[in-house]
A and B are shown apart, each in its own frame.
Chain A
């Protein structure tokens, strides 16, 4: 016997959570875009999407975030920190790849310095994930050591029932347990069978890939030029990625006052790592694409022992010239050795 949540009780569930002071965000479509929006009713949710177009990362690490307000006076500078509010939020209907993305980025934001902006939002957010029972051509979680029912980064895991009436419910963390305690009478015991997870074919051999990337000779390989020839250098892949985390600090204002902001940056941009002198160590698109792959599957692994990719496939799905991580890693794993 396991606990289940029926679709028909979802509205009661939302009401109970709101009564406990949570706001609930779920995938929904607004203004022609699928993303995590605050929802009031179960009918607002778009839970049958393979994936929303935007990731939940946006709600932890927004595209532009004010850090401090400053005012420059004659003999001093006044500053005022702008910290994000500690909101109690539930992210409902997250896919395992997006939930993993948060867990993948946690060590980065908490490594030599604890990024308050990330962790204040992380601390009070509960991630309720729904295991995938369908996938599309671009999904590739199984290629990066994850799976359509992976629990990484989730507080509660919902597994769709075979009969389609609801989900099996499993709390994975204290936060998850605490959340379920707010809805005891809504959950019920049942022996209904779970649906099998989506079948997601493995697209490349990650061990071969990481071994090749770790070989210093690969850095100057001609491969990078060939694979990135058609890359147009936009940031669609990095900005839609649940794990990409590069940012730039910018002051916005006039001579006397303004706001210091943390804005997303992308290794795809020609301006990325441009020095004041005008020199750029990555002055071609191929060296920038190499950086993206090396960062995700070599440097990040070396530092935090995890791939900086959760296999969501967005980078390929949305690429205007049909590039992406998948093709590159496939080509690397097929390189003659």
Chain B
């Protein structure tokens, strides 16, 4: 039995037994290689579920809308390891109760989706632990190294060109499971902390604010990078912040639901005398 059939059956069972009220998964998209999020509420709809190597989006963001989990019922969601890590962060930040999330875990390797054993976020702890010891993506690191080789002036000019393309569509924010604030700082207008204009300065403000808010929280799912309609390499910004968090604080985002947010904790033995 292929993974798709196995997970369709499992989803049907979860729904018909009443173990979950909803399954968030992937369905056919508008072209043969596109997949789109689907919301399955009854066992007879599970044939709409698709699971293959094109299922790359991190669906955990669909767990946070207000009211979804407030009835105490459970929801099942298809997640790759990056998505499982974001569930841990959402749990650590009190946005979801992990006991209400049934994880239909899978991974994509060599152009194939394969099932991951376990159904609760904690079941995947060894997997995430091994990911941490492997370290951050070497491909991203190689790309990031290219930037590091530039002089500071050239690097600034590089980002100046990239950010000047931004149109403040906020697709990066909306697609990101970690960007769940009910009212983002850039949408606060009494007072208006951040200008809404999408000129280069305003775009710098926006992208830097977001980079800091994602430090130690980004799980490198790549959602923002793929969503950006003007192809700003957001992956490199987030990667750089993740690297800082890992190197300086041994912090690998989403290790567990007990992990302390790196920018919201203070250690007694911190060598710095100053905290921001």
* Interface residue ranges, A against B (CB under 8 Å): 31-33, 53-54, 63-64, 137-138, 229-230, 232-236, 238-240, 248, 250, 252, 261, 263-264, 266, 269-271, 316, 318, 320-324, 326-327
Contacts and interface: CB of A to CB of B under 8 A. Distances in A.
Given A240-B229, A316-B30, A322 B35 contact: yes
Given A31-B162, A236-B229, A263-B196, A64 B202 contact: yes
B86 to A, nearest CB: 15
A320 B165 contact: no
B161 A31 contact: yes
Contact of A137 (B30, B35, B62, B223): B30
A327 B36 CA distance: 12
A322 B231 contact: no
B116 to A, nearest CB: 23
B217 interface: no
Nearest to A330: B30
B154 to A, nearest CB: 14
A230 B171 contact: no
Contacts of B197: 64, 250, 252, 261, 263
Contacts of B173: 234
Contacts of A64: 197-199, 202
A138 B36 CA distance: 15
A322 B229 contact: no
30 contacts: A31-B165, A54-B230, A63-B168, A138-B30, A232-B61, A232-B171, A233-B174, A234-B170, A234-B171, A234-B173, A234-B175, A235-B167, A235-B171, A236-B171, A236-B229, A239-B229, A248-B196, A250-B195, A250-B196, A252-B195, A266-B169, A270-B187, A316-B30, A320-B174, A320-B223, A320-B227, A322-B29, A322-B30, A322-B34, A322-B35
B39 interface: yes
A320 B30 CA distance: 12
Given A53-B231, A240-B229, 7 more contacts: A32-B231, A63-B167, A63-B168, A64-B197, A234-B227, A320-B227, A322-B35
A34 to B, nearest CB: 9
A234 B37 contact: no
Nearest to A230: B37
Q: State the 3 A-B residue pairs at the shortest beta-carbon distance, nearest first.
A: A234-B171, A320-B227, A322-B36
Nearest to A137: B31
Contacts of A53: 229-231
Contact of B227 (A236, A248, A323, A326): A236
